[in-house]
Amino acid sequence: MTAFAQLLLPKDSEATSHILHNYLIPSRLATKGTVIDCKGNYPFPPATLLYTIETDKPFDFNIRVPSWANESSTIHVGKSDSDLSEGSQPFVPNALNETHLRRFHRVPIRSAGDYRILVTLSTEIRVERRENNTISIYHGPLLYAYDIEFEAITRLPRNYKDGTNCREVADILGQGDKNWMEKVRDHDFVPTAKWNVAIDPSQNMTLVVGEHALLPEGKIRELPNPIWSSGAPPVYIEVTAVEIEWR
């Protein structure tokens, strides 16, 4: 799956072609006469997308505006050697006249050349009510959860019906053409810290963000890999919580 898409136009059409960036992930598009590179730290705040474009023809570049992005989100468009710290504009949908582009911000690339586009997405912490008096806490597209310390127990896969080791895996282990089965494992995560906590959504919640994604030289700071390990994401939310009785 590619994050970019092109709208195909009839051969006799004189309309400007469109390129869409729908999934806001680091990605690359190389098509006839146009190369677009996108680097960034999306979806982690401050969610920054840095595009470099090389093209030999004009086109409309459309970037999806997430529904959670607020009015503080900005976009800067300039030549490849331009200063990205000046001249920002609001990053809001501006293609509302076309149904398929109603949630996109359109950037007209009016001539051949090299360009840079910097998008910074801003948002707030969102609390959404769920069933049984529970809540979900979001920031941008991410759902946040309490990071519980645990011990990992790794073993051969077990049959979900009776809890015994999967015979199919045991029979295959050791066969030369099935080496990948030696890496198939089940993992049990056993809590080693308090896990029975409840958040008070009436109290303040604070977003704590690490180092800014955009470096002074206009490059994107690399994220840890793997990013989803405990303590690796560059952001967390401080909340007020209390231990509860969970029978």
Number of Cβ atoms within 10 Å of the Cβ of 219: 11
Would you state the structure tokens that stand for residue 88, as one six-digit string?
A: 């920002």
Cα angle, residue 32 at apex, residues 27 and 36 outer, rounded to 5°: 25
Q: 155-195, pLDDT tens digit by residue?
A: 888 877 887 777 666 565 555 555 666 677 889 999 999 99
Residue predicted with more confidence, 79 or 49: 49
Average pLDDT rounded to a whole number, residues 57-68:
94
The pLDDT of residue 114: 94
Pick from 121, 148, 168: which residue ends a domain?
121
Phi/psi of residue 71, nearest 5 degrees: -70, -10
Q: Write down the pTM of the prediction.
A: 0.79
Pick from 77, 100, 121: which residue ends a domain?
121
Residue predicted with more confidence, 190 or 2: 190
Query: Quick one: 106 and 152 in the same domain?
Result: no
Burial group, residue 237, by CB count within 10 angstroms (0-12, 13-18, 19+) = middle
What CATH number is associated with residue 55?
2.60.40
Burial group, residue 90, by CB count within 10 angstroms (0-12, 13-18, 19+) = exposed
Q: Please report which confidence band the pLDDT of residue 80 belongs to, taking 50, 70 and 90 as the band edges.
A: confident
The pLDDT of residue 51: 95
Which helix (DSSP H) or strand (DSSP E) does residue 170 occupy? helix 167-172
Range of the domain at 230: 125-243
